[in-house]
Structures are given as C-alpha cells and as structure tokens.
Amino acid sequence: MARRAAQRSNSRAATLEDVARLAGVSIATASKALNGRTHVSATTRTTVLEAAARLSYSPNALAQGLRAVRTGIVGLLTSDLEGRLSIPILMGAEDAFGVGRTSVLLCDARGDAIREARHLETLLSRRVDGLIVVGARPDPRPSVGRDLPVPVVYAYAPSEDPDDLSLVSDNVSGGRMAVRHLIDVGRRSMAHITGDPSYGAAQDRAKGALAELAEQGLELAGGRVYFGSWSEAWGRSATRMLLSQTRGVDAVFAGSDQIARGVIDTLHGAGLDVPGDVAVIGFDNWEIFTTSSPPPLSSIDMNLETLGRVAAQRLSAALGGDLRTGVESLPCRLVPRESTTSG
C-alpha cells in the first residue's frame, strides 16, 4: 500500500531563529539561553527554553560542527565482516565518549583497500574528529596514512607504521594467564592446541604459555605446540593426535574458543570427563561458544570494550594535543567457568 507523501507535520525543522522570534528575543540571546551562557537574565532564559520546547527545537549539528572546531563524530573503519570485534570496541568507545556527546560513523571496508580509501575520504570530508581503525586479524596492517588531519588509533590490529598509535591485546600475558590458571587448579601436564601459526597472536599466546610453564618447571604435554587452523575441526583432529601420542594429559589450553569446542567434543568422544579428567580453557571468551558448550568454557577475554574505551581516551587526548605513538598492549582477563573449575 503506497500513498503520496502526506504533508509532513513540520515541513521544515524549527531553527534558532524561530525560537528567538517566538520568545521575542534576538538569535544571539536565544543561543546563549539555550547553551547556559552568561549575560542572560533568568526570566529571559525560561522564556527561551519554553519557546524551544514548544517548537521541539533541536539544534542543527551540521551548523554547529561547521562553526566549531569539533564535530562530535568519530569514524570507525573496520574490516571485520562479522562485527565480532567492531561492536564491542564500538560500545567501549561510545561509553568513553558518553552517550550523546559523540556519534560513531561505521564503515566496513570488507578487506578491500580501494573501498577503505573511499570510506576514509568520506569520513574526512565529514570532518570526523578522529578515527579508530579495527583490523580483521590481529597482525600489523598498512597504515591509513601519516599526514591525516585527524588523530588515528589502531585497535586490535596494529599499524605497520611505528609512528602511528596502536592498541592491542597482550596475547603473551593472555597465554601466561591461561597456563597459570590451569596450574592453579592443580594441573601439571598440559597441551596447547592453537590456530594458524602465521598469526602473530597464535605465536604470542604460545610464547606466553611456554614462558609460564618454564618458570614453573613444567614441560608441554605432547612436546610441541599444536598449530593448525582456527577451526573446531582442527581442535578435534589435534586432540585425537594428542591422545594417541601422549598419556596423562590433564589439561588443554586451546588458542580459541572454537578450537576448545572441538577439543571438548573429542575428549567426550574418548570417554574423558571435562574437567574431571582433562581441564580445558579457550581464548576470546566468545559468549556464544563459552556458554553453550557443555560444560561452560573457561576462557581468556581480550577486553575489547576496554580496547574501545582506551581508544576513545587516546583520541580525546590527541585532540587535546597529547599525541602518542607506538604499540600499547592491554591486559587480558581470565573468565573461569566449569570447564576448569569442577565445582
């Protein structure tokens, strides 16, 4: 059912001039009254506020942004198809800026450099106050450019250019944390099954895990890190391999929650209890996997909201003149659940 456009109730949004006229004052006074500036008497102020309310006046942010130094818009440039990363980061940034103070313009480049350049151009022409760039995988990515007119923060995936500012999760300490937790719950013989070795994150997590083991005087079960792919299927086949090669394994540190899922499945299939016989901990703390798995999966959370929040803070600081460069690592967080804590 289609109908011709009815005359919209307010064919034109009310402007400050309309408010001023209704209140019987000048535009300047109306502006001052609405913005809580001085040099306006109390009675005049209420008159103006009433007029504004009556017209349901809403200031034109475009005009404000045109005049002001800040527009109150930040761009979020992502290549993360699923939104798995961008959304938490977005929410953290929103929190840090404060609701209503800043809006986020979200662009997905879909891994395409051309599209990214286009989006970048659009964002700059919209005069965003700053830019957060979120990569799809946690490895260094090309810089979007050195001499942009606005500050840029790279989140999750660092920039290849050391003169940019990047925020990443500290995967080394995350790996440490996982092993430390397994030790704390009394495990001694643990394997590490993880994803694609070409990912820096996989290497870092393994490095942290090995370092912690070494410090505790323990050896890695199976004698090596099982690198493979970030899939449940790999979790399954690696676990089969592990079980056939080694005995007495009492814990597995999986490089992702998906892998952990495959690990648990296979352990169950072999008649082993989790965590009774083997404790399992994942990485990412992806709710959808950690809570639906039987038993609920312990995991390491990368604190993506915090990443977003800090990104927002760094952006604000940069606008205030405090520029930083280099890669900043933010700590992960342990989320223990029943797959490691039997009780």
Partner DNA sequence: GCGAATTCCGAAAAGGTTTTCCTCAAAGTA
Partner DNA sequence: TACTTTGAGGAAAACCTTTTCGGAATTCGC
Q: Which residues bind DNA (CB under 7 A)?
A: 12-13, 15-17, 24-29, 31-32, 34-35, 37-44, 57, 59-60, 63-64, 66-68
Q: Considering CB under 8 A, how many residues would be counted as binding a copy of itself? A: 71
Residue 86 C-beta: closest distance to DNA, Å: 30
CB 105 within 8 A of CB 86: no
Residue 64 C-beta: closest distance to DNA, Å: 5
Q: Which of 217, 223, 248, 321 binds a copy of itself (CB under 8 A)?
A: 321
CB 195 within 8 A of CB 202: yes
Selection from a copy of itself, DNA, none that 28 binds (CB < 5 to 8 A by kind) is DNA
CB 176 within 8 A of CB 209: yes
What distance in Å separates the CA atoms of residue 155 and residue 328, rounded to the nearest whole number? 10
Residue for token pair 């990912």: 199
Within residues 82-121, the interface with a copy of itself by CB under 8 A covers 82-84, 86-87, 90-91, 94, 99-100, 103-108, 110, 115, 118-119, 121
If the CB atoms of residues 90 and 300 are measured against a copy of itself, the closer one turns out to be: 90
Selection from a copy of itself, DNA, none that 342 binds (CB < 5 to 8 A by kind) is none
Name which of 111, 272, 138, 278 is nearest 196 in CA terms: 138
DSSP 293: S
Residue 297 C-beta: closest distance to a copy of itself, Å: 12
If the CB atoms of residues 124 and 272 are measured against DNA, the closer one turns out to be: 124
Residue 149 C-beta: closest distance to a copy of itself, Å: 6
Name which of 162, 163, 158 is nearest 141 in CA terms: 158
Q: What is the dihedral of CA 124, 129, 134, 135, to 10 degrees?
A: 40
329 binds a copy of itself (CB under 8 A): no
129 binds a copy of itself (CB under 8 A): no
What distance in Å separates the CA atoms of residue 247 and residue 227, rounded to the nearest whole number? 20
If the CB atoms of residues 89 and 202 are measured against a copy of itself, the closer one turns out to be: 89
What distance in Å separates the CA atoms of residue 262 and residue 237, rounded to the nearest whole number? 8
CB 195 within 8 A of CB 255: yes
CB 94 within 8 A of CB 132: no
Pairing of strands 333-335, 298-301: antiparallel
Q: CA 172, 174, 179 angle in degrees (round to 5)?
A: 100
Residue for token pair 């008159």: 47
Selection from DNA, a copy of itself, none that 108 binds (CB < 5 to 8 A by kind) is a copy of itself
123 binds a copy of itself (CB under 8 A): yes
* Class of residue 146 by CB neighbours under 10 A (exposed 0-12, middle 13-18, buried 19+): exposed
Selection from a copy of itself, DNA, none that 44 binds (CB < 5 to 8 A by kind) is DNA
If the CB atoms of residues 41 and 64 are measured against a copy of itself, the closer one turns out to be: 64
Residue 250 C-beta: closest distance to a copy of itself, Å: 24
Selection from a copy of itself, DNA, none that 224 binds (CB < 5 to 8 A by kind) is none
Residue 69 C-beta: closest distance to DNA, Å: 9
If the CB atoms of residues 217 and 321 are measured against a copy of itself, the closer one turns out to be: 321
